[in-house]
Amino acid sequence: MGIMTITATETRAERTDRASRQIGQLLLQGWTMLNETCLTPNCGCVIMGSRDGSRKTCVLCGDVNAAPAPMPNGVQLRDVEEEEIAALVDREASRLRARIQDDESEVRELAHAPAAALVRAAPAQQDPSALMGTLMLQGWTMLGDVCGACNQVPLMRKNAELRCVACGPIRIAALSAGAATAPAGPTTRAAAPAPAAAPAPAPSTARAAPTSSTAVPQPTAAPASTAPATAAPSSFSTTYISAFPGLDHTVNVAHDRIRVMTDMLAQTTDPRTILDTTSAIRVLMDLVSATRTHQQFYFVSAPPPVPVQFAPYGVTPMGTAAYAPAPAARGTAAEQRQ
């Protein structure tokens, strides 16, 4: 079908007649009239579609929206996309499988590595929670007690060995030996001298004249005891009292949660669960460290109790010495003289 060019001298009526004739011819050839119009300026003619739907044409302007020519190799675009997606999925699956195998082999190597070598090879700035997770894979158990040196990392124990992942091993045997050789009781104060034996009453050489009634024997004055009084300790007793009691409760709750998570780690073998639990333990450890940093203590000192001295003042009829509390000196010597 030839395409007729619109000339400038063609009137609107002539163009309409020509379009009508072309539409009639296309309808006889099996074309259909579509519900579309030509987008060419000053045209607006109806669009005709071929029987197989491969062509669309304007009877005045020509073909519009022609279908793209097939590729020379005959490969469809949809087939190429599916093959590329399948290849990409295979590559990603292979990479993930290799990564999982590497992670499993690394976990097995760490599980068989000695604990001392891991602690020596770890840098000082390495996360303690990662080292604790590695030791737990080797059978170590995390205790509820915190290391006394760093005051923030829980202690690890395996059989008779005790270790802090930040400070190193702790010698339990040395501590036990030191406790065994220590004296049984404190010897900070000297033993008080034994009280002096009361002197026996002197036998009377002269008898009293007999009277009508028997006189009550009076106690004989005994010499004052010359035993030195026990000196009061000069140091004051000091008590540590927390300025914020609520922080103590927070630390206790954090320690309880650490013990619960330690029990959970002892019952699981999943590496992912171990990593998540150790991360949570690390958060609790940071909380304990921050709480101890901001926790303040003040000292309450009290003087020691005033010792009471007893001085003998006589002998009872039964032959024993009688004692009475000695009056405590008050004020200075000048005040006492006044």
Report the SS3 class of residue 251: helix
- The 10s digit of each residue's pLDDT in 252-295 is 788 888 888 888 888 888 888 888 888 888 888 877 777 666 55
CB 218 within 8 A of CB 275: no
More confident residue, 290 or 332: 290
Q: What is the pLDDT of residue 153?
A: 74
Q: How big is the chain, counted in residues?
A: 338
Q: Model confidence at 2, in pLDDT bands (50, 70, 90)?
A: very low
Each residue of 203-217: pLDDT tens digit?
444 444 444 444 545
Give pLDDT, residue 115. 53
Write out pLDDT tens, residues 10-49. Answer: 777 888 888 888 888 888 888 888 888 888 877 878 888 8
CB 110 within 8 A of CB 259: no
Q: pLDDT, tens digit, for every residue of 291-301? A: 666 554 444 44
Please give the residue that has the higher pLDDT: either 62 or 189: 62
For residue 184, give Cα distances in angstroms to 177, 180, 187, 190, 194: 14, 9, 9, 15, 22
Stated as kind and residue range, the H or E segment containing 199 is none
pLDDT value of residue 193: 45
**Cα gap 267→54, rounded to integer Å:** 69
Q: What is the mean pLDDT of residues 129-138?
A: 75
Q: How confident is the model at residue 110 (pLDDT cuts 50, 70, 90)?
A: low
Per-residue pLDDT, 181: 42
Residue-level pLDDT at 179: 40
Of residues 60 and 337, more confidence is placed in: 60
Give the confidence band of 338 by pLDDT, cuts at 50, 70, 90. Answer: low
The secondary structure element, H or E, covering residue 34 is strand 32-37
142 in Cβ contact with 156 (< 8 Å): yes
**270: Cα separation from own chain's centroid:** 20
Which range has the top average pLDDT, 27-31, 107-111, 118-122, 302-306?
27-31
Percent over 70 (pLDDT), the chain: 47
User: In 113-171, which ranges are continuous DSSP H helix?
Assistant: 115-121, 128-137
